[in-house]
Amino acid sequence: MLIFAAVAIALQLHDSGNRSDRIEFYHRLLLVRKGWGAARVREVLGAPNDVLLPIGQGGRNYSTDFSWSYGTHGHTTLASRGQVRFEAGRVVWVSGTPGRPPPPMALMSDAEPDRHLLVASRLGAYDPLSFIQTVNDLLPLGKQKALAVLLEFDRIVGGTDGCFAIAAALFGLMDRPGPTNRSYWPGYPTYLVDDIPFTLPIRFGSAGASGGGFRPRFFTYAMEQSKYWVMRPKPLKPPDDPFPSFLRSIKDRRYPFGNEEGWGENAAGGYSNQGRMLKQVLELVRTAWQAPGLDPASRVFVSARDYNAYHRAFLAMGAHWDSRRQCYVRAR
């Protein structure tokens, strides 16, 4: 039975008064309206698990006075139940209410998705390590539960692009030949080379990438296509030396930029598309070796002309992929 059919099952709440119940809390979120004050929100949802303050007050919110997060597991972690944002003391946005409920309790327990949602929440743009960890975390769940987690992540975060790419890797969709318009490939703009996800330096939204193609919301796409999906047979396992995979990635048919930028920076003074692809390898191996001056959160330019120097320095560490730890480690 598919998860999407299961979503339509009548919801049987185990304890309608328990705020930790995911489905019960979803229905409470539906009651919250724009313009409400904090006191009224607290009456309906209870006290938040975390409060995010604006940048000016040492927080992380750019445009809101503050946000209340529910279902967190530590400060600034994923609001796995939902989030309410305030401007001038009034509600301006509520997450997790796009018109569909969470997975029914018959499919997975209330708390079961949380650990997997936390792993998925680390997924960042151009971060192949967190991508591999997310796919390999979902794989043992089986098709129904893995899809349920992805749908719940999409409901809470609205992470359509990330969900498309993860599903494409999890269900082997990246290996299928794509049409001429690359933006219709299921995983686009991410593709696998030697079990390493490389993401092209472009943006893709539901309206398409760089003006090309159209892609529906992940939920809609999954409802229509998931019956054809089959779980990949084994976890992603990048090679012990991932640097040659970069060279293969820029020669892959799915890489659209060719050699027009050579190995150096582009004419605008920024780094080249090849440099951005190489930086993803540096991010992948960061647990074993960090390139000089390359902080994981930095926007430092990387030039592909430095490939050989980076490669030699990495090999000197004697590092390898550790399947148990799900990351690269140095030789003892």
Q: Taking residues 127-133, what's their average pLDDT?
A: 93
Question: Which three-class secondary structure state does DSSP give residue 191?
Answer: strand
**Is the predicted pLDDT of residue 102 greater than 60, yes or no?**
yes
Q: Are the C-beta atoms of 51 and 38 separated by less than 8 Å?
A: no
**Separation CA 48–CA 147 (nearest Å):** 28
**What is the enclosing helix (H) or strand (E) of 67?**
strand 66-70
Comparison of pLDDT for 3 and 121, the residue scoring more: 121
What is the distance between the alpha carbons of residues 170 and 257, in angstroms, rounded to a whole number?
Answer: 26
Reported confidence tier of residue 319, pLDDT bands at 50, 70, 90? very high
Task: Examine the pLDDT at 7 and tell me if it is beyond 50.
Answer: no
**CA–CA distance, 22 with 113 (Å, rounded to integer):** 10
Higher pLDDT, 91 or 109: 91
Q: pTM value?
A: 0.79
Q: Is the bond preceding 189 in cis, omega lying within 30 degrees of 0?
A: yes
Give per-residue pLDDT as tens, 181-223: 454 556 778 899 999 999 988 754 443 433 344 566 788 888 8
CATH 3.10.450 corresponds to the domain 3-94 = no
3-state secondary structure of 284: helix
Of 19-23, 94-98, 294-298, least confident by mean pLDDT is: 294-298
Domain segments of the chain as ranges: 3-94, 112-228, 243-329
Supply the DSSP symbol for 326: T
pLDDT at 266: 46
First to last CA, the chain: 47
pLDDT value at residue 142: 92
- 137, pLDDT greater than 60: yes
pLDDT, residue 282, reads 95
Range in 36-40, 106-110, 155-159, 308-312 with the lowest mean pLDDT: 106-110
Task: For residues 121 and 134, give the distance between their C-alpha atoms in angstroms, rounded to a whole number.
Answer: 9
Is it the case that residue 114 has pLDDT exceeding 70? yes
Rounded CA-CA distance 42/185 in Å is: 44
Of 208 and 50, the structure prediction assigns the larger pLDDT to: 50
Indicate if the pLDDT at residue 268 is higher than 50.
no
